[in-house]
């Protein structure tokens, strides 16, 4: 996380006069545009992985950042994002856990067997 802080500080200083508000001013009160700006400017916010030969983009932290700004400003002023509903639901582990519990979807047996061992799944694992 310290590397992410360094990256954000460096980019803000080099491109936005050292202030996040200058980046925020470029989004024209659009949650989607702010999300795109964050993803374009800060590598550490790009949650992208390969899964079975396909690129999967989650962007959890970037979307949480945008949603937190919206909440901070209570949906007004610089945090007035009429398109806030265009963000996806955040990919928290509780979401799939709940959906699986209620039978909305199910995991394959091999994955469930692995999860039942309570081992930490390393980043980039085939699941």
Q: What span, in angstroms and rounded, lies between the C-alpha atoms of 3 and 7? A: 6
DSSP reduced 3-state for 79: helix
Q: What is each CA distance from 30 to 34, 83, 101, 121, in whole angstroms?
A: 6, 6, 35, 36
Q: What span, in angstroms and rounded, lies between the C-alpha atoms of 12 and 116? A: 43
Q: Are 32 and 87 in contact (CB under 8 A)?
A: yes
DSSP reduced 3-state for 88: coil
Q: Is 85 among the catalytic positions?
A: no
Catalytic pick among 36, 47, 68, 92? 92
Helix axes 31-41, 60-72, angle to 10 degrees: 130
Task: Name the residues annotated as catalytic.
Answer: 92
């Amino acid at each position: 996380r310290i590397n992410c802080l360094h990256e954000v500080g460096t980019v803000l200083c080099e491109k936005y006069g050292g202030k996040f508000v200058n980046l925020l001013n470029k989004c024209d009160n659009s949650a989607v545009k702010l999300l795109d700006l964050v993803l374009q400017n800060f590598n550490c916010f790009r949650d992208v992985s390969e899964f079975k030969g396909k690129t999967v983009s989650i962007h959890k932290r970037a979307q949480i950042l945008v949603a937190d700004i919206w909440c901070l400003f209570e949906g007004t002023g610089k945090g007035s994002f009429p398109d806030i509903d265009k963000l996806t639901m955040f990919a928290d582990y509780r979401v799939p856990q709940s959906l699986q519990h209620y039978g909305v979807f199910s995991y394959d047996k091999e994955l469930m067997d692995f999860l039942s061992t309570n081992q930490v799944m390393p980043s980039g694992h085939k699941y």
